[in-house]
Amino acid sequence: MSMDRRDFLKIAGITGLLGAGTAALSGRMPGALEAASTSPNSNALKAKQWAMVIDMRKFKTPDDYKKVIHACHSIHNIPDFGNPKDEIKWIWTDTFEHTFVGQEHEHISEAVKEKPFVLLCNHCEKPACVRVCPTKATFKRKDGIVMMDYHRCIGCRFCMAACPFGARSFNYRDPRPFIKDNNLKYPTRMKGVVEKCTFCVERLDEGLMPACVEACKDTKALVFGDLGDPASEVRKVLRENFTIRRKPELGTSPSVYYIVGGGENAG
Amino acid sequence: MYNSGKIIPGIIIFLAIVTFPFWSNAGKTNVKPEPKIDTPAIQQMPEGERKCIESKEFMKAGHMQMLNDWRDSVIRGGDRVFVSSTGKHYNMSLQNECLRCHSNKKDFCDKCHKYLAVKPYCWDCHIEPKENKS
Ligand code: SF4
Ligand code: SF4
C-alpha cells in the first residue's frame, strides 16, 4: 500500500487533534481552601533539643528491661519475625563492649561486662543518617528529634549504612502478619522502608512523655527532657552524675546519655 | 491493492479487538458509586451538625490533596491541628480522625476508588478500621 506525503500529513493531523481533545477533557484541579489553617496542639511539649539519660543503675531485673521495650514495641506496632536477620527494633539491649566500643578493657567488673545496656536512636545533634538521605525522608525537627517520613523513604538504606549506632531497621518483609496486637491508633510500616525510634513524637505533640520513659517512671531509669533548658530534669541529672555517650569521637553528638554505674548493681 | 485478502480481514479483527471494551459494556447500565455515610458515629451526630470537616463538594474533589497537605504538616511541621474554614479544630489524622466517622472503608473509600480504578497506598501502613456495621 502506498501513501503520498499529503495523505500522511492528513492522517497525522487528525490523530493529533484527537489526542489534544482527550487531554482537554481530563484533568481539572479543585480549588484550594483559603480560610483553613493548621496549628500545633495546644498542650504539645516543646524543646530546643530533646534528650534522654539512661540510668543503668536502675536496670536490675530482666523485667526492668522487658517493660521498657514492651511499652515501645507494643504501641508502635513493631513486628516480631522471630529471627535476627529480619529483626525490627526501636529499643533493644547489647553488651557494654558493643555499646561503648573502645571503652572495654580486660579488668572491667563482671557486673558491667555481663549487663545488657539499653540502646535506641541517639537523636544526634549532627545526625549522619540525615546527611545521606537522598529524599529527606529522614530529617531533624526543630526540637532536635530525628524523624522518619515513611511516605518519602525509597528504601535505599543509605541511612543504615551511615548511622554508626545500628539504630535503624529495614523492613525486608511485609511486617503486618507479624504484629501481635495492633495498636489501632498508630500506623504500621510497609515492606521496603527503614524505621527507628522517634522519641515518641506523636506523644510529645499531645503533651505526653515517651512511652518507655513512662513505663519506668517509678524508678526513673529513663529521664527525658530539654537539653536546651538549664532547669530541665535531664540537665539536673547530667549536672549531678558522671555520664558518657556512645562513640562521641565520631562527631554526631548523641542526645542519649548513660550513667553506667559500678559494681553496686551486681547480681 | 496487494494482499487485500489478508489486510482487510486483519483490519476487521484489529478493530474488533480495539473496540472490545465499548461493545462488551454497551447496554449495561454503569451504576454511579454511592459511598455510604450511615456509620454509627455519623448517625450519632445531631441532625444539623452532620457535616464533614469541609463542604461535601470540596471533600469530594480535594480530599486527596488535603491528606497530602496534612501529612506534610503533621510529620514535617509538627502541626497536628486543622482549623477548618468554619473555625472548627480537628486532629489531622487519617486513621484517628477521618476513619472515626468513616469507619466503613469498604462502603465509603473503596466505592469510588474501585469505580475509578485508583489504588491509593494509604492502607499499606494506616490500619483500616474493622468494619463495624450495625
Ligand atoms: S543514632 Fe543513628 S539513626 Fe539516630 S540520629 Fe544518630 S545517626 Fe541518625
Ligand atoms: S532508606 Fe529511606 S530514610 Fe534511609 S536514606 Fe534511603 S530514603 Fe532516606
- The answer to whether residue A37 scores a pLDDT higher than 50 is yes
Residue B27: per-residue pLDDT:
75
Residue A68 within a domain: yes
The domain tally of chain B equals 2
**Where in chain A does DSSP place strands (E)?**
37-39, 50-55, 91-94, 117-120, 138-140, 146-148, 169-170, 194-195, 222-226, 256-259
Give the domain extent around B128.
103-134
Whole-Å CA distances, A127 to A137, A177, A252: 13, 32, 5
Residue B130 within a domain: yes
SS (H, E, C) A211-248: HHHHHCCCCCCEEEEECCCCCCHHHHHHHHCCCECCCH
What φ, ψ does residue B114 adopt, rounded to 5°? -70, -45
Give the confidence band of A23 by pLDDT, cuts at 50, 70, 90.
low
At residue A128, the 3 state secondary structure works out as helix
Instruction: Using alpha carbons only, give the angle B98, B99, B104 rounded to the nearest 5 degrees.
Output: 130
Measured in whole angstroms, the distance separating CA A177 from the mean position of its chain's CA atoms is: 21
- The answer to whether residue A84 scores a pLDDT higher than 80 is yes
User: A151-160, A253-262, B108-117 — which one is most confidently predicted on average?
Assistant: A151-160
Statement to judge: residues B82 and B62 lie in one domain: yes
State the DSSP H helix or E strand holding residue B5, giving kind and residue range, or none if neither. helix B4-18
- Alpha carbon dihedral A223, A228, A231, A232, in 10-degree steps, equals -20
Give the domain extent around A201.
32-265
Cell numbers representing residue A148 in the block: 522518619
- Alpha carbon dihedral A247, A253, A258, A260, in 10-degree steps, equals 30
Residue B50 within a domain: no
What CATH number is given to the structural domain containing A65? 3.30.70.20
Give the confidence band of A33 by pLDDT, cuts at 50, 70, 90.
low
B83-130 tens-digit pLDDT: 999 899 999 999 999 999 999 999 999 999 998 899 999 999 999 887
Residue A35: per-residue pLDDT:
67
Whether ipTM tops 0.85, in short, is no
Residue B80 within a domain: yes
Q: Across residues A129-141, what is the average pLDDT?
A: 97
Q: Across residues A151-177, what is the average pLDDT?
A: 96
CB-CB contact of B7 with B1 (8 Å): yes
Residue A28: per-residue pLDDT:
45
Residue B38: per-residue pLDDT:
87
Statement to judge: residues B65 and B84 lie in one domain: yes
Partners of residue B66 in chain A, C-beta under 8 Å: 33
CB-based contacts of A9: which residues, under 8 Å, 6+ apart? none
Counting residues of chain A whose pLDDT is more than 70, the rounded percentage is 92
Residue A225: per-residue pLDDT:
96
Residue B97 within a domain: no
Residue A21 within a domain: no
Instruction: Using alpha carbons only, give the angle A51, A52, A54 rounded to the nearest 5 degrees.
Output: 160
Residue A23 within a domain: no
Quick check: CB of A259 below 6 Å from ligand 2? Answer: no
Give the confidence band of B81 by pLDDT, cuts at 50, 70, 90.
very high
Residue A20 within a domain: no
- Give the binding-site residues of ligand 1, using a 6 Å CB cut-off: A 121-124, 127-129, 146, 163, 165, 167-168, 196, 252
A194-249 tens-digit pLDDT: 999 999 999 999 999 999 999 999 999 999 999 999 999 999 999 999 999 999 99
Residue A239 within a domain: yes
Give the confidence band of A12 by pLDDT, cuts at 50, 70, 90.
confident
Residue A178 within a domain: yes
Residue A25 within a domain: no
The domain tally of chain A equals 1
Terminal CA-to-CA distance of chain B, rounded, Å? 69
Residue B32 within a domain: no
Q: Which of A31, A141, A182 comes nearest B78 by C-beta?
A: A141
Residue B33 within a domain: no
Residue A266: per-residue pLDDT:
45
Task: Kindly identify the ligand whose nearest atom is closest to the C-alpha of A196.
Answer: 1
Residue B68 within a domain: yes
